[in-house]
Structure 1
Amino acid sequence: MTGRLNLMIPHDGSVVVCDGRKALVLRNEGHPRALDLRMERVFEAPPNPPTREQGTDRPPRVRLGNRRSSIEQTDWHRMAETRFALDVVTALDRIDPLLALVVVAPPRMLAELRRVLPERLRRAIVAEVDKDLTKHPVEEIGRHLADA
């Protein structure tokens, strides 16, 4: 994110702060110029053990004629993040009415959320912020967004 966005989150607007393991759904109970974010819901992804416990450490091999080649190893953690993004989006899609939505996530998760967002949620988005704020208290998230 570069520069100031003049981010305006309307009263009763929603904010989702998400990374690959945790998502916070917040609602602005204040004014667009004086945010008062309140926690609505918290999502935690299920445990995601190391790759060595989920599959083989060695990439599989394939024979192409007289040549052998390896196949890219499955990224189990990325697959878990994709499933988590879909779970978060499914929950967001149940918010009714959804006046406005601000999405705050690190770049990789932001891209994953964009990929799975239905049209109704896309239309509600007023801003996207590429930061990881999931470990911050709600008041600090509000300050980051007010300064955005």
Structure 2
Amino acid sequence: MARIRNGTWIVVTDSEKALFLRNLTDHEDPHLEVTGKDEQENPSDIEQSANRPGRMQDTGVQQRSALDDTDWHELAKERFAADLAEKLYHEAHEGNFERLILVASPQVLGDLRAELHQEVSDRVVAEIPKTLTNHPVGKIEDLVKKELDAG
């Protein structure tokens, strides 16, 4: 069972924002301090698209097929995971944390896990597949401790 030791970093993220927390106490009574926030503006795909989807001539007479346009909104979400992984790498490389707990939806955890450098992966002590980005810090403390105790 993973524990929230003093100094453990907890990153609570979704595909558009991340909250960086550090535990100041122990597992029995965690007290998380906000050490940073990251957020990207990611308008809907319709707002980011400049053109209507293209069309392509088919082999049949008078037939045309529609082409899918690039989903800019989805690309920005994937880029956010890569950017977050890079930030965590720099923080780990500077020795700012030894233990890391990741809290995100299963999809975001998968995207993030694929982007993490080995130096960061080696420090991950737990992953919690929940979206908690809109919760107050006190509630995050309770939910993370509860999840770790149940696991």
Q: For this structure pair, what is the TM-score category when the shorter chain's length is used for normalisation?
A: 0.7 to 0.9
Q: In structure 2, do the counterparts of structure 1 residues 114 and 71 end up closer, same or farther at CA, with 3 Å as the change threshold?
A: farther
Partner of 1:12: 7
- Which piece of structure 1 moves more, 118-127 or 49-58? 49-58
Between the two proteins, what is the percent identity of the paired residues?
35
Partner of 1:70: 66
Unaligned runs of 5+ in 1: 1-5
Residues matched between the structures, number? 142
Task: Find out whether 1:30 has 2:29 as its counterpart.
Answer: no
TM-score by length of 2: 0.83
- How far apart in 2 are the matches of 1:64 and 1:123? 51
- How far apart in 1 are the matches of 2:122 and 2:107? 21
Q: Secondary structure at the match of 1:79?
A: helix
Structure with bigger RCO (C-alpha 8 Å, 6+ apart) = 1
Q: Does the 8 Å contact 1:19/1:105 carry over to 2?
A: yes
CA shift at 1:90, angstroms?
1.8
More helix by share: 2
- Which piece of structure 1 moves more, 35-44 or 55-64? 55-64
TM-score by length of 1: 0.84
Could you give the per-residue CA deviations for residues 71-128 of structure 1, whole angstroms, max 9, x where no partner exists?
Answer: 3332211111112112222221222322111110112211111121111111111111
Counterpart of 2:70, as a letter, is: T
Unaligned runs of 5+ in 2: none
RMSD: 1.9
